[in-house]
Amino acid sequence: MTASTQQYDIVVIGAGHAGVEAALASARMGQKTLMITLNLDSVGLMPCNPAIGGTGKGHLVREIDALGGEMGLAADDTLIQMRMLNTGKGPAVHSLRAQMDKRRYHERVKRAMEQQPNLTLAQGEASRFLTEGGRISGVETAEGFSYVCRAAVVCSGVYMKSRILIGDFSRNSGPAGLLRSETLSDALAELGVPLQRFKTGTPARVNGLSLDYDEMERQDGDVPMPAFSFLNGRLEREQTPCYLTYTNAQTHRIIQENLHRSAMYSGKIHATGTRYCPSIEDKIVRFADKERHQIFIEPEGRTTNEMYVQGMSTSLPGDVQIQMLRSMPGLHRCEVMRLGYAIEYDCIDPTALNHMLNIRAVPGLYCAGQINGTSGYEEAAAQGLLAGINAALYCRGEEPLTLGRDEAYLGVLVDDLSVKGTPEPYRMMTSRCEYRLLLRQDNADERLTEKALRTGLISPERKELLARKRERVQSALDSLDQLVPPNEALRQLLTERGESVPQNGVKLFDLLKRANIRYTDLLSIFHSLTPLDWEAEERVETLARYDGYIQKQLDQVARNRALEDTPLPQNVDYLTLDGLRLEARQKLNKQKPANIGMASRISGVTPADVNVLLIYLKRGFPAVKTEEPA
């Protein structure tokens, strides 16, 4: 081993939200871990919006926390506003979203990494992978260092051969003016990892001192303030407001007249953009019937005047950006501090991954985050945590951790990526989750914390909190099982709430199913009920109110479980199977699904193809021919 060669168990490449979770998980699981990043000042960087959470994304943050990750704790420590979204809808789609102090979040995360035993941070550019027997054995950097390792986790974000575009201007650069990775995508291609090219973008930042807030709608946070982490309960903190304004006819006219100058519409961008977070010029074209679009003005932190113009991602030239911003209420005098831009970058085809986020063809090589074709901090962090856990379990010689579609939003995310792939930047949404009533953000700890116990990431405190929560909820459910007569106090309550009065005895659990009845209402009449804290009360009310729907989803999970539990052999040559369509043969041979359920979700595999596979399972697959040794 030369002076420039060092030995680690796991090397994590990249220090964004995926890299942070992967490196912390690996080190906390006892693996000697190195994290290499292009710039140590960008650890945990938020190059786009200054927020964590949102619809579907808040579920992921809660799941990260339940599995022992860092994002929820770091966000709780540094947020400046918190809101629960979709409260007018059912609990399945309730999602937390927090405005962050970007600088403090970066500092909080970097400090956690610097203080973590078994974890070393190094600035450099990973440029080449070393293999032995087809397995990862090391990583080399452009600076001439060689790191021997047993596993590597690539969390390169949008930095691989990235290019910034603003109108006619373009520059080879990472986000926020940072360096890009010049060689990493070539190193992956050398290993046979398939690549694709995606595009995303960000809006301008404006000086908050130049805005007229009286012309906009103020958006305050929730009081009491919920928290992401199950360890924190509720938070008490001064919150910073956001503001809401709208585009108008003048804004739209400015954009339409300058579409030809947009990098996206002029043909300068050849990468695929995100459908669910379009640029403002794309919104104007695709939704030409809309008279206005919501624009949120969000603070980037307590110690800066920069405000993020949420909803106006753009690749229009700078002069047009200034014109369109100044056409909106509250921004007539705005000073633009940073221009919006589009960024295109290399990423992998995620169908090369298995459910452990390991490249199937290269044992020991894991990928997580935007390199896998996703968008968003939360999607990246969740993947990073899972990849870091599985890299550590791989090094320990233990069974990997996998999550099903019926167990976690993270399970849906990984399954969608590895089985279906994605033709555009993937964003987590509640609509992608078929079992979303079971996978609510409030029960992420009950779903996942016990599954993570064997990793060592679950603290005794977290385990004890979960046990006490379950005990309180079960005690309340037991007390709600009693049959009670409709006494005068109950009759009065039901009448006041516009609910029908039962003629005979009724179970308290059935009364709690009614939309206008709360647990505290019943507690005030029936003192045998168990007093609850807000968290357990919310859980019990949800279980009662949605009891029938929850049971239906549980039945659906049980029916579909048979497909997930029907394994397919991994040595099948699907190209030789009669009865399968050619497309199905090719797709199945490429992805080697682990079970019938996964096979059925592959794009291009029809129900008829699945029936053929079931027939082969009964009759037996043909043996794979191997060449005789010379």
pLDDT tens-digit map of 216-246: 999 999 999 999 999 998 999 999 999 999 9
pLDDT of residue 626: 52
Three-state secondary structure along 383-439?
A: HHHHHHHHHHHHHCCCCCCCCCCCCCHHHHHHHHHHHHCCCCCECCCHHHCCCCCCC
Max Cα distance, the chain (Å): 92
pLDDT of residue 486: 86
pLDDT of residue 628: 47
pLDDT of residue 630: 40
pLDDT of residue 277: 74
Whole-angstrom Cα Rg for the chain: 26
Percent helix, strand and coil across the chain, each rounded to 5? 40, 20, 40
pLDDT of residue 3: 47
CATH topology of domain 205-343: Elongation Factor Tu (Ef-tu); domain 3 (2.40.30)
The residues facing 163 across adjacent strands are: 172, 344
Distance of CA 277 to the CA centre of its chain: 15
pLDDT tens-digit map of 479-517: 999 999 889 999 999 999 999 999 889 999 999 999 999
Residue with tokens 């976690």: 408
d(CA 229, CA 71): 9
pLDDT tens-digit map of 40-56: 999 999 999 999 999 99
- Superfamily the domain 5-199+345-455 falls into: FAD/NAD(P)-binding domain (3.50.50.60)
Residue with tokens 């807000």: 534
The length of the chain is 630
Which residue ranges in the chain fall short of pLDDT 50?
1-3, 627-630
Residue with tokens 């589009």: 342
Q: Structural domain boundaries of the chain?
A: 5-199+345-455, 205-343, 462-558, 566-619
CATH of domain 566-619: 1.10.150.570
Residue type, 102: K
CATH of domain 462-558: 1.10.10.1800
Using alpha carbons only, what angle is made at residue 577 by residues 574 and 582, rounded to the nearest 5 degrees? 75
Are the CB atoms for 317 and 264 separated by under 8 Å? no
Q: Tell me the whole-structure pTM to 2 decimals.
A: 0.93
Residues near 115 by Cβ (< 8 Å), separated by ≥ 6? none
Residue 629: CB atoms within 10 A of its CB come to 4
Using alpha carbons only, what angle is made at residue 330 by residues 328 and 332, rounded to the nearest 5 degrees? 65
SS3 of residue 447 by DSSP? helix
